[in-house]
Amino acid sequence: MPDSAPPTIGAAIRTGAAQLAASSDTARLDAEVLMAHALGITRSDLLLRHLDGQPPASFRSLLERRLAHEPVAYILGSQSFYGLELDVSPAVLIPRGDSEVLIDAARARFGECPPGRILDLGTGSGALLIAAQSLWSEAEAIGIDRSHAACQIAQGNAARHGKASVVQRDWSAPDWADDLGQFDLILANPPYVEREAELAPSVRGFEPAEALFAGADGLDAYRVLMPQLSRLLMPGGAAMIEIGATQADAVKALAHAADLSAKLHRDLAGRPRALEMAVLPNISLGKA
């Protein structure tokens, strides 16, 4: 090891964290997680037992990747969501803690009466699909994604965690859902970012554009999905759809235009994060 190498793991973490501070809000955590990954041990094991050891040579290259804004989840190849460890690659959006709101909202809605059939639209890594299946193991859970690479990641995750299935479909294609039937619970974290939005380099430079962007106003995917929900939902079913923090009114309007009710759910930071939708009862107005 060259003389300039940091003498201990603890010192290498400190130096790495200081370098990362300019580009990451979680510099110290990132450095610890990357070091644990380089050593092939857990972070708590690292902190409890290994700080005085020799830093492995591979830490430097992991740190360089993070300094170039690559998300930690892609460097590690995994991310936890709703307590489940999921494989991720640049073919799929990294599951966010904020999206767990959709699962909590579904849990509140269905309570002791489990949904029999679950559909996840644009499943990506399979995060929402697999989290829902983990709650309702008897349910038939199907995820769709138009990306073949995403379907492969989701299939691997689904197989490891349960029995959800994943099929490659494009929700903008005609007849894409004809053989899928109806669902008690529909989940979706569609692309909803405005094309020109300012995004962190770790997001814009690394996460898949087709999972992020939805036209100039970020609403293109909702425009395609909303009119399809009522025929995909069973009577009494509900859809939990993720939205951007400023999109609640616009997406509610699209839902109402498609004869759906829309109830807002907020994330842990109090920002609008999901809309719960159900088919409005068919009331005929103006009849004697």
State the angle between helix axes of 58-67 and 27-39 in degrees (0 to 180), rounded to the nearest 10.
Answer: 150
Binding track over 227-256 against ligand GLN, x by CB under 6 A: ---------------x--------------
Q: Does 133 bind ligand GLN (CB under 6 A)?
A: no
* Size, binding site for ligand GLN by CB under 6 A: 10
- In the bound complex, what is the minimum distance in angstroms from residue 193's beta carbon to ligand GLN? 5
Return the residue of 73, 139, 193, 251 that touches ligand GLN, per CB under 6 A.
Answer: 193
Toward ligand GLN, which CB reaches closer, 65 or 96? 96
> Quick one: which segment of 8-16, 44-52, 136-144, 185-193 binds ligand GLN (CB under 6 A)?
185-193
Residue 208 or 227 having the CB closest to ligand GLN: 208
Nearer to ligand GLN, 137 or 246 (CB): 246
- Look at residues 181, 179, 209 and name the one whose alpha carbon lies nearest to residue 196: 209
Cα end-to-end span (Å), the chain: 89
> Quick one: tokens of 167?
């099929």
Rounded CA gap, 97 and 242, in Å?
12
189 is a contact residue toward ligand GLN (CB under 6 A):
yes
Q: Which of 140, 210 has the CB closer to ligand GLN?
A: 210
Cα 152-153-155 angle, rounded to 5 deg = 65
Taking CB under 6 A as the rule, does residue 136 contact ligand GLN?
Answer: no
Question: In this chain, which of 55, 71, 95, 191 binds ligand GLN, going by CB under 6 A?
Answer: 191
Contact between 96 and ligand GLN (CB under 6 A)?
yes
Verify binding: residue 212, ligand GLN, rule CB under 6 A: yes
CB of 169 to ligand GLN, least distance (A): 18
Instruction: Show the tokens assigned to 169.
Output: 């479909």
Q: Does 129 bind ligand GLN (CB under 6 A)?
A: no
Rounded (10°) angle between helices 248-257 and 220-232: 40
Residues that bind ligand GLN (CB under 6 A): 93, 96, 189-193, 203, 212, 242
